[in-house]
Amino acid sequence: MGTEIRSLRSTRGWTSAGTSEYRSVTRAAVITRVVKPILYFAAILPLAWLAFALLTGLVMGDEVKFMQHVTGDTVLTCLMLTLTVTPLRRLTGWNEIIRLRRLIGLTAFWYACLHLSTYLVFDQSLSIEEILKDIAKHPWVLVGFTAFLCLVPLAITSTSGWVRRLGGKRWQRLHPVGVRGRSCRRAPLLLAGQERRSGAPGQRGRVVGPAG
């Protein structure tokens, strides 16, 4: 009788463990096969829209400002999404969701690179003198540079290889810098939301809609 009870208990434990493992595998499969492809597709949409609008002449006004708005707003959106990953994981119990944070964070970083490039190349013509003058005149530009520098070490050390090199504790000590970097998350919007200095107010880039 005692043997039968122990056998029943062990069977229940094995079944419970098996069910938990099956759920974990199923969730991981959903993340890998469904959610990640959707995020990859969503990541290229702002760039595709930007290229389409510029190449087809839909942008009226300041094209540089339009590029800064699209890239800056994308950075802001991605950083806000990274902040929701941990609360969402705690609410749902889906620990596998944490795998999405790296993808979203890297998307934010690459669009931040594009955002910075539009400022340096198209807005300031790679002129160090003009950039320094602009920083002196508009302090929020320096905030934007600082926010970008906060993102650089996070992007570089986001790979599994760097986690192994640094070790879990040191890696976690480094990545809370992301909290400070995200505290500067307004910087891209500040850069994008200002009128281009070389243009007249009201000439911000906008997309022409159908005449109504």
Please state, in angstroms and rounded to a whole number, the distance separating the CA atoms of residues 204 and 21. Answer: 54
> For the whole model, what pTM was predicted?
0.74
Please state, in angstroms and rounded to a whole number, the distance separating the CA atoms of residues 79 and 73. Answer: 10
> E strands of the chain, at which residues?
59-60, 206-207
Q: What's the confidence (pLDDT) of residue 108? A: 93
Written as six digits, the tokens of 137 are 């005149």
Q: What's the confidence (pLDDT) of residue 142? A: 87
63 touches 203 (CB < 8 A): no
Q: Is the pLDDT of residue 200 over 50?
A: no
Q: What's the confidence (pLDDT) of residue 24? A: 55
Written as six digits, the tokens of 42 are 């969503």
Q: What's the confidence (pLDDT) of residue 61? A: 83
Domain boundary assignment for the chain: 7-198
Tell me the backbone φ, ψ of residue 62, rounded to 5 degrees: -80, 105
Mean pLDDT of 72-76: 92
3-state secondary structure of 62: strand
Using one digit for the tens of pLDDT, what is the confidence trace for 104-124? 999 999 999 999 999 999 999
Using one digit for the tens of pLDDT, what is the confidence trace for 138-162? 888 888 888 888 888 888 888 878 8
Those residues with Cβ within 8 angstroms of residue 13's Cβ, 6 or more apart along the chain or in another chain: none
Q: Is the pLDDT of residue 80 over 80?
A: yes
Please state, in angstroms and rounded to a whole number, the distance separating the CA atoms of residues 102 and 89. Answer: 14
Highest mean pLDDT among 12-16, 19-23, 130-134: 130-134
Q: Which residue has the higher pLDDT, 9 or 69?
A: 69
Please state, in angstroms and rounded to a whole number, the distance separating the CA atoms of residues 119 and 191. Answer: 9
Instruction: Indicate the angle between helix axes 63-92 and 36-55, nearest 10 degrees.
Output: 170
Mean pLDDT of 76-85: 89
Q: What's the confidence (pLDDT) of residue 46? A: 96
What are residue 207's DSSP bridge partners? 59
